[in-house]
Homo-oligomer: A and B are copies of this chain.
């Protein structure tokens, strides 16, 4: 089932702005913000409105065609709808996809030891990526990165 069919089957339309917005998010692995998507979409559709980008990102996420996740500096969007985890480099701020580890064991353990029924869970890793390790980057965390990472380690 193609994206167009998914939309049409729910009474939604595949307009030019919508198609381009979906393409942009799907063709990147950088987990862009709405503003970043807007900038890229404008390269193909200069008259597009920022509101249209917001509206569509929201709608496409609701339809399950992309994933919306909250990060420290606002919402970010992910065209990869498969199960995977994320690694955030606190030196350069980039967010990398990492393969998910098996989920069933964690779910079972949670279910047996608490009153919680776990539908799903997320893992977010924080550290330094290969490039930054080689570069020995030791720049102080930005406010954004501090927020993402929670607090500065002593």
Cα A121 to Cα B127 in complex, Å, equals 8
Residues of B within 8 A of A128 (CB): 116-117, 119
Assembled-state Cα–Cα distance A154/B65 (Å)? 12
Write out the residue numbers on chain B whose beta carbons fall within 8 Å of the beta carbon of A67.
150-151
Please state the number of chain copies in the assembly. Answer: 2
7 closest A-B pairs by CB: A115-B130, A118-B127, A121-B125, A70-B72, A119-B127, A122-B124, A117-B128
- Number of chain A residues close to chain B: CB under 8 A: 44
Asked if A61 CB lies within 8 Å of chain B CBs, one says yes
Choose one: B61, B127, B154; the contact of A116 (CB below 8 Å).
Answer: B127
| Complex Cα spacing A152 to B61, Å | 9
Chain B: minimal CB distance from A95 (Å): 12
A62 touches B146 (CB 8 A): yes
A94-126 CB mask vs B (1 if < 8 Å, else 0) is: 001010000000000010001111111111111
Tell me if A147 is interfacial: C-beta within 8 Å of chain B.
Answer: yes
Other contacts beyond A64-B151, A70-B71, A96-B116: 17, CB < 8 A: A61-B146, A61-B151, A67-B151, A70-B70, A70-B147, A115-B129, A116-B128, A116-B130, A117-B128, A118-B127, A119-B127, A120-B127, A120-B153, A121-B123, A121-B124, A122-B150, A123-B123
A120–B126 CB distance below 8 A: yes
Whether A4 sits at the interface, judged by CB under 8 Å, is no
